[in-house]
Amino acid sequence: MKIKRHNFLRSICALVLILGASPIQAQIDHQLQLGRIASNDRDSITTAVRAISDEKDVAYYALMVALFNGELYLKNNELVIIGDMQEDDYGDTLAPLYTAYPKRHPILNDEGKPLIATLIDLEEIDSNRRIRALIQPYLTQMEIFHPDPGKRRVAVETLGNRGDLGAVPMLRDALEKETDSGIQSLIRVALGKLELTHPDAEVRLNAAKALGDLNNTFVLSFLQARVEPDASGNIAELDPAVQSEIRDAIQWLETFNQIMVVIQTAFVGLSLGSILILVALGLAVIYGQIGIINMAHGEFMMVGAYFTFIVQNICLIVLPVAYIDLFFPLSLPVAFLTAGGMGLLVESLVIRRLYNRPLESLLATWGISLILVQLARTIFGDLTAVKLPQILSGGFELAPQVMLPYNRIFIICLTAVILVGLVAFFFKTRFGLRLRAVTQNRGMSACMGIPTRRVDAIAFFLGTGIAGIAGWAMTLIGNVVPNMGQTYIVDAFLVVVVGGVGKILGTIVAGLGIGVSNKVIEPFAEAVYAKVLILGLIILFLQLRPTGIFPAKGRDE
């Protein structure tokens, strides 16, 4: 009985020793590799780097990065990493020190402040080209766990393109820990590409199915290379079942790519159409309701953009850094009121005296546009820019190759909101009723006691104010320049004329039609020729239907 108990105790002790040996041995190995690097002997460093690369331990990442960049030093026989270097008054080079293992942390002095050392008191760890070449694969593998999403993306794509099946376990581990859906998709693509070279046909078959299901058209060339003969006439994939699955994946991905091209073209055309509608809405109000050809309409849009820039600069001075993006919503009413107020001033001083004189009003507003452009150039110079708010940066990733920018989605939504607001204003308010009455029959409206001149002034204020909002939105997709309004004024007039003078529904249909048509034609012709073709089609359309898509009712002056 005692013998059995003795044997049992010996077994327990042996098990304890076995379980405890692994952490102890690992600690010994770590100290061994660190000691080899600290020896500053190239052969010892090379041996340590090879061992660390084989071990694939992320704890060495900071040390290996420092060794690769020549930032690893010895201080009192301990490995340290130097930070940004600077010179003191005596010409000595100083640098803060960081721990090299297991993580990079600032080394503090007795007062709890970062420890600063003179480089002359440190010994640099030698790192030649051969050592850096050995470090590079380790860094690529470790960066799939890096906190920076950009580094993780690059590392995953590099591992997928390298063709090393040994990276599969690490990629699967990264897939379990990854929280970014876009990077998760990239990891699955990398796994599929690697496993498509696996010796087992069943693994390759599953990989081909997975790559087809991921809807990533960037793997098309890789899949095609597996089933198409190379220069020597050899085919990489010999298994008939795997070949069939790869060809099915290729066929689906090509179809999917065509679908995505159609969706992206439609979105770009929709966003361009929304921009044209946004610019043309104010022009439709002025031209449709008052009958004035306002050649300065683009410059009122420019006014809204520049006042957005002014509000941004004020907020940069007044607001804390965390609240800087508030400038964008704050500048919306400013852009509307300043552009509308300036339009009201122009209407009262110039336009009011030129009603029923279309040529004179056209020349006068053209002169006003030249004055405003030169005034903006004198005050602000030729180029300024408005910062894109953080919430509108980036985009919605519809597919790996299709990104819908948030700023253009915002413009589409803004256009829809303004359209709904204008419809409600025209058809649900007393002023809207008066405005429509003046449009249909000015003389009869005046006889009914409607102040037609006041209605005209308010319509001009509203139209130029909407132009200011358009300029506010345009800062999301381009720079603010003095002649920015002239880029859109011709297209805006085309939208108004094609849609039907004064017709909001016509403005919507014409704006979207011109925007989408432009983007559909561009892949088959250059942008300039696409615009020329669109203009030719518009001229032909107006020959057949001079009053536009939705003709305006006759106006009795």
One domain for residues 124 and 150? no
- What is the band of 1 on the pLDDT scale with cuts at 50, 70, 90? very low
Q: Please check whether residue 65 lies inside any domain of the structure.
A: yes
One domain for residues 105 and 165? no
One domain for residues 22 and 167? no
pLDDT value of position 206:
92
Of 238, 255, 284, the position where a domain reaches its end is 238
Does the structure show a pLDDT above 90 at 516? no
One domain for residues 54 and 163? no
Q: Please check whether residue 138 lies inside any domain of the structure.
A: no
Locate the DSSP E strands across 341-496.
Answer: 395-399, 402-405
Average pLDDT, integer, range 260-288: 83
CATH code at 352? 1.10.3470
One domain for residues 395 and 525? yes
**What is the spatial distance between Cα 295 and Cα 302, in angstroms, rounded to a whole number?**
13
One domain for residues 347 and 395? yes
pLDDT digits (tens, 9 = 90+) for 285-299: 777 666 677 888 889
Q: Please check whether residue 141 lies inside any domain of the structure.
A: no
Q: Please check whether residue 551 lies inside any domain of the structure.
A: no
Q: In this structure, are residues 93 and 59 in contact, taking their beta carbons and an 8 Å threshold?
A: no
One domain for residues 186 and 333? no
Q: Please check whether residue 136 lies inside any domain of the structure.
A: no
pLDDT digits (tens, 9 = 90+) for 157-190: 888 887 778 788 888 888 888 888 888 888 999 9
Query: What are phi and psi for residue 485, nearest 5 degrees?
Result: -70, -30
Q: How far is CA 302 from CA 182, 311, 475, 479, 515, in A?
A: 38, 14, 10, 11, 21
- What is the band of 20 on the pLDDT scale with cuts at 50, 70, 90? very low
Average pLDDT, integer, range 487-511: 78
The token pair at 361 is: 């009003």
Of 131, 162, 191, the position where a domain reaches its end is 131
**What is the spatial distance between Cα 93 and Cα 85, in angstroms, rounded to a whole number?**
6
pLDDT value of position 553:
56
**What is the spatial distance between Cα 390 and Cα 129, in angstroms, rounded to a whole number?**
41
| Percent of the chain clearing pLDDT 90 (strictly above) | 18
Does the structure show a pLDDT above 80 at 555? no
Q: Please check whether residue 259 lies inside any domain of the structure.
A: no
pLDDT value of position 307:
94
Q: What is the mean pLDDT of the chain?
A: 83
pLDDT digits (tens, 9 = 90+) for 358-408: 778 888 888 999 999 999 999 988 878 888 898 888 888 777 667 888 998
Judge if pTM exceeds 0.95. Answer: no
- The range of the structural domain enclosing residue 451 comes to 264-544
pLDDT value of position 14:
43
Average pLDDT, integer, range 489-495: 80
What is the tally of structural domains in the chain? 3
- What is the band of 501 on the pLDDT scale with cuts at 50, 70, 90? low
Q: What is the DSSP-derived secondary structure letter of residue 114?
A: B
| Percent of the chain clearing pLDDT 70 (strictly above) | 91
pLDDT digits (tens, 9 = 90+) for 441-464: 777 888 888 887 888 888 889 889
Q: How far is CA 171 from CA 72, 159, 188, 213, 278, in A?
A: 29, 9, 8, 19, 48
Of 131, 164, 188, the position where a domain reaches its end is 131
Does the structure show a pLDDT above 70 at 5? no
pLDDT value of position 241:
92
**What is the spatial distance between Cα 240 and Cα 486, in angstroms, rounded to a whole number?**
61
Instruction: Please state, as a whole number, how many other Cβ atoms lie within 10 Å of the Cβ of residue 133.
Output: 11
The token pair at 444 is: 């009869």
What is the chain's percent helix, strand, coil content, to nearest 5?
70, 5, 20
